[in-house]
Structure 1
Amino acid sequence: MRRPWFIAGLAALCMAVGVPAHAWAATPGTTAQRTVTTAALPVVDMEAVILAAQIDPRRADNTLTPGAKNSVLAVEQALQARNLLNAQWVDGYFGTTTITAYAAYQRSLGYSGLDANGLPGTTSLTKLGENRYTVVNTISPGAKVQRDGYVVNTRTQAMLAEAQRLLGYTLVLDQGSYNPGGDPTSAGTHDGGGVVDIAVTGMTAAKRTDVARALRQVGFAAWVRNPSQGDWPWHIHAVAISDTDLSSQAQHQAGDYYLGMNGLANRGPDDGPRIPIKTWEQYQRGQ
């Protein structure tokens, strides 16, 4: 049987080390049991991190992407813990320095090329957060599939199918994704996933605008391109925002779209239909 002085002393010890006294309480005939509580790990919202990784490097200032600060901070702290990011850059801003640090982390995992371009994927983001944070709202581009003789991923395919449903007619590609060096005029935007060009042969100006609008509704950064802008025919260029297979050049276009630009090298004003910007995941949640 425990003596009163023993119980009192144990309670005092518990208070001294910050353990609730009731966690050690015992009843007659039983052994005192310790209640162990584990603090919940921080949560990293992958959707917010990916948005910040596209937009922040394209900003002229250090404005944070709304809703992303805490998630980006957790990622940056994990990079700092691996000596990949200096403490001064742990600020919730996923700028070029954080992109470079994340790319170094991806290379440390054995990734190369487009898989080590600094844009987090679900696997690398989750591994970086082991025992540090949990990942929610994950994004996956899915498997590669064929469409109109070109390669796209299943996320892009689903987005195109929904845009077609909104329009009421079929869209035909004249360039797909995962096409490194396939078209020099594309400046690398089609090297990775999530980027397509839509054929507009026979479309009126109004119909071209309608297509661009529908593509934007479902989560593409989309613009009508004309021959006066570059060495290409009329077409619609579309970048699936937050596709984690985007090439660096396509990431820049998505970021510029959020900042009201045209996605071209001149970074001119957006010349497409202006609607509230949404990712594919945000669009789906709104249906």
Structure 2
Amino acid sequence: MPLSTPRIAAGPAALAIFAVLACPAFGATQASAATPAILPAVDMEAVVLAAQIDPRRADTTLTPGAKDSVLAVERALQARNLLDARWVDGYFGTTTITAYSAYQRSLGYSGLAANGLPGASSLTALGQGRFTVTRVIGPGARVQRDGYVVDARTQAMLTETERLLGFRLVLSQGSYNPGGDPTSAGTHDGGGVVDIDVGGMSADTRTAVARALRQVGFAAWIRNPAQGDWPWHIHAAAISDTDLSTQAQNQTGDYYLGFDGLAGHGPDDGPRIPIHTWEDYQRTH
């Protein structure tokens, strides 16, 4: 007895199924059209670090691990006619800083929010349809410490420094202090920068404090009266704080390049330890 041929119902659903089975290419096209494109990722930590270091050195030297992310940011700035194509090179130099600041202002930001360092909100907006943002960082809320204002990220870094040392630190100057001590040259105008009171400390203790500050991610130096019109203190700038003033950005860049953070660009006179950010420290402790 011959095998019978299966009967296929002639309803709309059955016809649709038959059409897809008969035309696999059509079905694959429909499926792929529904799959969203995968956007490249921009590492915010790497981009912010590059924006501090790159302007302080020759533009033939790139920040390790930052090139692809910086290129994505620069291409997005170029697409908005804020950066000429010749500067799309993976180097977050002064021209890219200026272009990014212009982009921040185009979003309605001003002051520290338009300092040229990519913040989480501006970077996310810049990346719409072009890239996603990973390893997001930010200064957090502003809080009080010793009668001064600092941001939450800086406060957390100071608290960890105190845990390492086993004693409390007292500030002699805080952050967000425009028009404050003129000898600070604008470094305290934004976030992330503090001065530590070292009155009564021995030389060894001062060095231990500077080392602990560096361990958690500060660019920190012991300052003495011979360097300027100031008393003994430790000046500390939180690397990659996105609220850093321009002057403090320059200091953190100089720290990576082995300088003392002063106008004369002398050699770093602080304790030598591997340099890393607060986020690096948190991942390894």
Q: 2:21 aligns with which of 9, 24, 27?
A: 27
1:111 Cα deviation from its structure 2 partner: 1.1
Displacement of 1:25 = 8.2
Secondary structure of the structure 1 residue equivalent to 2:179: coil
Residue of structure 2 in register with 1:16 after alignment: none
- In structure 1, the partner of 2:112 is 114
Shift of 1:30: 11
Which amino acid is 1:35 matched to?
A
Partner of 2:89, secondary structure, is coil
Residue of structure 1 equivalent to 2:11: none
| CA distance 1:25–1:78, shift in 2 (3 Å) | farther
Change (3 A) 1:35 1:201: same
Counterpart Cα distance in 2 of 1:285 and 1:225: 30
How far apart, CA to CA, are the structure 2 residues paired with 1:141 and 1:186?
21
Task: Give the counterpart of 1:137 among 122, 135, 138.
Answer: 135
Contact 2:59 2:91 in 1 (8 A): no
Structure 1 contact 56–62 (Cα < 8 Å) conserved: no
Which residue, out of 16, 30, 38, partners 1:40? 38
1:254 alignment partner in structure 2: 252
Q: Structure 2: how far apart are the matches of 1:28 and 1:87?
A: 49
**Which residue of structure 2 lines up, in the alignment, with residue 100 of structure 1?**
98
1:279 Cα deviation from its structure 2 partner: 0.2
Q: Are 2:200 and 1:205 aligned?
A: no
The separation in 2 between residues aligned to 1:29 and 1:66, in whole angstroms, is 49
Q: Which residue of 1 aligns with 2:86?
A: 88
CA distance in 2, matches of 1:29, 1:93: 49
Question: How far does the alpha carbon of each residue in 1:227-277 deviate from its partner, in whole angstroms, 9 at most, with x for none?
Answer: 000110000000000000000000000000000100000111000000000
2:59·2:93 contact (CA, 8 Å) conserved in 1? no
Partners of 2:218 and 2:237 within 8 A in 1: yes
Which of residues 167, 182, 185 is equivalent to 2:165?
167
Q: Say if 1:157 and 1:35 are closer, same or farther in 2 by CA, change over 3 A.
A: same
Task: Please provide the CA RMSD for this pair.
Answer: 1.7
Residues 84, 105 of structure 1: 8 Å contact kept: yes
By how many angstroms is 1:104 displaced?
A: 0.5
Equivalent position SS for 2:31 = coil
Distance (Å, rounded) in 2 between the aligned partners of 1:261 and 1:30: 65
For residues 115 and 184 of structure 1, the distance between their equivalents in structure 2, rounded to whole angstroms, comes to 23
Structure 2 distance, partners of 1:231, 1:64, is: 36
C-alpha separation between the residues in 2 aligned to 1:29 and 1:54?
A: 56
Quote the Cα distance in structure 2 between the aligned partners of 1:252 and 1:62: 18
1:245 corresponds in structure 2 to 243
Tell me, yes or no, if structure 1 residue 180 matches structure 2 residue 178.
yes
Q: Percent identity?
A: 77
Q: What is aligned with 2:189? A: 191
Take 2:260 and 2:58, find their aligned partners in 1: how far apart are those partners? 16
Q: Which runs of 5+ in 2 are unaligned?
A: 1-17
Shift of 1:163: 0.3
Residue 65 in structure 1 maps to residue 63 in structure 2: yes
The alpha carbon displacement at 1:35 in A equals 1.5
Q: 1 CA distance for matches of 2:26 and 2:124?
A: 38
Match of 2:221 in 1: 223
2:230 matched residue in structure 1:
232
Report the Cα distance in structure 2 between the residues aligned to 1:31 and 1:102, rounded to whole angstroms.
45
Which aligned segments of 4 or more residues in structure 1 are displaced greater than 6 angstroms?
28-31
The answer for the alignment partner of 1:74 in structure 2 is 72
Write out per-residue CA displacement over residues 118-175 of structure 1, whole angstroms, 9 at most, x where no aligned residue.
Answer: 1110000000000000000011100000000000010000000000000000000000
Aligned partners of 1:57 and 1:94 also within 8 Å? yes
